[in-house]
Structure 1
Amino acid sequence: MDLRALACLAALACPAGAETVRIATWDPGLSRDGPGLLLRDIGRDDPQVLAAAQVIAANAPDVVLLTGFDWDLDSRALEAFAALLERQGHPMPHRFSAQPNRGLQTGLDLDGDGRAGQPRDAQGYGDFTGQQGMALLSRLPITGVTDHSAALWRDMPGNRMPPSDHANVQRLSSSAHWDIALQGADGPLHLLAFSATPPAFEDRNVARNHDEAAFWLRHLPKAPFIVIGNVNVDPADGDGDAAALEALLQVTQDPAPRGDWQPPQTGPNADHLGDPALDTAEYDRPPGNLRLDYVLPAQGLRVVGSGVVWPAPDDPLAEAVATASHRRLVWVDLDLE
């Protein structure tokens, strides 16, 4: 019995013959230290790349947003990775990516260290343009994309941007904000996709992380939608401000995807308040394991299953999951009929 059938049985919500659509998000660790290196590694069957493909193919999403995937101008790495997935028996013919803000230099000394052209002087932290970008792979046709990534932080109503001499340059998105329209069974389904900066490393990052999530509160489409991606904030643990996430949860539904297994809640996890089964990121140092990755369907959509791919150590998929990334793939099954 496959994962979707199990999800239907668990939810007791799938009518006979109903077809579900699996929507997933994951940071698969498909980012490298320089441009072109990811394409090189895909071409030479790098073990970490193969592990990432194995995890995706094993869970068979109809749509997956990758929030840690290096962008290149001609999408050669994305095309090569899609070909690898097809060889593993999981073709995803529809794809989208665009230049992210990570590594996109402003030409200014944004962090005030006296040097321009450094990673922190880019619109989003990155050693090169496209590092840690985003990509979408889909079995559903993509009917349109609205890219909000160039929006200035200062122009967002109610923003928390600290006073800055560079307010007329600094964009809100540390990576990207995309409204991706997919062709669903009864009309368009909008993915409100983003990957927020971690609320760490710089004082302003807590405010930026909050505002990147809050952005979608003012850009909700009238059509069915899903807020999806690396929100990079845990509602109970860690250092972020979860107020914007909590506001998004008022206009969506939280399927609360759970993993099958969690490591012992010791060390940096010992004082955590959140349910460890909801965690999607593994850290062996403070702040410990956190829930950072989300698939949040609009309230009118029908959820029939969900999960976090965190298998027990003796599971056949466990080695691939651990090899690929410290993040865990999150999936939600929807009945769109």
Structure 2
Amino acid sequence: MIHVGEYVFAQYNVERLTTEKVQRTGTPQLEAAAEMIQRSPMPDALLVNEMDDNTVQGWEGRHNATAFLEDYLREPQVADVEGVDFEEWVAPRCNTGIPSGMDVGKDGIGVEPGTDAYARDCFSYAPYPGRYSMALYSRYPIERDEIRTFREFLWADLPNDRIPTDSDRDLYLTDDDRKRFRLPAKTVADVPIALPDGTVHVVIAHPSPPLADGMDTLNIPRCHDEIRFLGDYIAGAEYPYDDDGRMGGLPDGERFVVLGDLNTYPGETVTDDAVTRHLLENPRIRPTTPSSPGGRELDAPHATGILSRGPARVDYVLPSNEFDVSATGVGWPAADEPHREMAERASDHFPVWTVVAD
């Protein structure tokens, strides 16, 4: 039960939430995803990952965020749940599928959307612009004039970056590439929301998945450095510059919540345990350890998804120390619960939520 003065922040990666799926009603996967959200505590702010941004795909109708809200979230999916409504949403532009003009894939510049060669040469891998983007929903007013995005922040401008430059690798960045290549796989955005008791900065991100796929890709060092950027930003580092040229990280004393599928788990050696060192142990963060019945059954109590490498905690809701945490959890039902199959049909991830109060 949520009490007065408490707020629910949630994160949910809905696998491949494409325009084709969300722009029609009755898509079974999205009905299941909406039900998962409706079975969780009512979120005051919800980040949905992997939602196509159809505004950069030439789509002239409703934005996918509106379609998902109107046709799925607001509609109770079964008799024993209520619809979920939000007052506002924001879908920041992402780097996925945006051509870089560079031969990032080292196989000639790919110019035909939909091809692997095209996807590999984008600022972030995707077969077309707007793929794997995200939307943040809010029940409270978004302070739109104060939103900061860092989509164009250059990887080389991160102090002590881990950019691969060795030409003996499968993939690397040349000196010229380094001058132009962006750090965020999607974007990093600081979205201030006006809660009844003051502003909270919702810092959202979805870093590169650190998958090698038998190659020396850019993903592992990029994932590490994206997470380090997040940690530095909330710690108030001076070097971050946003897409409007404003310098500096989050000022000390500002309340925030980090939301995102960070694509790495605590203790993961391939990313040098970036999420622990830069976020979970960050002195400005109040760590949370959500769990679920489904995860506990597989000896992975804090897992938030069933990935190719097994159950893992990769989705995070991390409030600042200004908040107290009264509850947190993962929406992964036990095997004998009636909606377990529905949960696994919705996505390879599960909703993660945290209840905070001053």
TM over 0.5: yes
| Pairwise CA distance, 1:320 | 2.2
Q: TM-score, normalised by structure 1?
A: 0.85
Q: Moved runs in structure 1, 4+ residues, more than 6 A?
A: none
Tell me if structure 2 keeps the 8 A contact 1:233–1:241: no
Aligned to 1:82: 69
> Partners of 1:314 and 1:230 in 2: how far apart?
27
Say which SS state the counterpart of residue 70 (structure 2) adopts: helix
Displacement after TM superposition at 1:115 (Å): 3.7
What fraction of aligned residue pairs are identical, expressed as a percent?
A: 27
Find the counterpart in structure 2 of residue 12 from structure 1.
Answer: none
Which consecutive unaligned segments of at least 5 residues does structure 2 have?
77-82, 112-117, 166-172, 235-249
Pick which of 295-304 and 239-248 moved more. 239-248
Deviations 1:238-279 (A, max 9, x none): 7432135422222212110111223754xxxxxxxxx61001
- Aligned counterpart in structure 1 of residue 17 of structure 2, from 18, 31, 35: 31
CA distance in 1: counterparts of 2:87 and 2:126, whole angstroms: 29
Q: Hey, what's the Cα distance between the residues in 1 that align with 2:139 and 2:186?
A: 24
Letter in 2 for 1:173: P
Q: Which runs of 5+ in 1 are unaligned?
A: 6-16, 266-274
What is the distance in 2 between the residues matched to 1:237 and 1:161?
19
Counterpart for residue 188 of structure 1: 199
Quick one: which amino acid aligns to residue 76 of structure 1?
H
* Alignment check: 8 A CA contact 1:108 1:116 kept: no
2:57 pairs with 1:48: no
Describe the SS at the equivalent of 2:143.
Answer: strand
The alignment's TM-score, normalised by the length of structure 2, stands at: 0.80
Structure 1 residue aligned with 2:262: 231
Q: CA RMSD in A?
A: 1.9
Q: 1:145-164 to 2 correspondence within 5 Å?
A: 145-163=147-165, 164=173
Question: 1:104 maps to what in 2?
Answer: 98
Distance 1:190 1:155, change over 3 A: same
- Tell me, in whole angstroms, the C-alpha distance in 1 between the residues paired with 2:276 and 2:53: 27
Q: CA deviation at 1:143?
A: 0.8
Distance 1:153 1:38 in 2: 33
Structure 1 contact 38–70 (Cα < 8 Å) conserved:
no
Contact 2:295 2:301 in 1 (8 A): yes
**Which residue of structure 2 lines up, in the alignment, with residue 280 of structure 1?**
304
> 1:184 & 1:44 partners in 2: Cα distance?
32
CA distance, structure 2, for counterparts of residue 198 and residue 131 of structure 1: 15
Counterpart amino acid of residue 187 in structure 1: G
Give, in whole Å, the separation in 1 of the partners of 2:330 and 2:221: 28
AA of the residue aligned to 1:47 = P
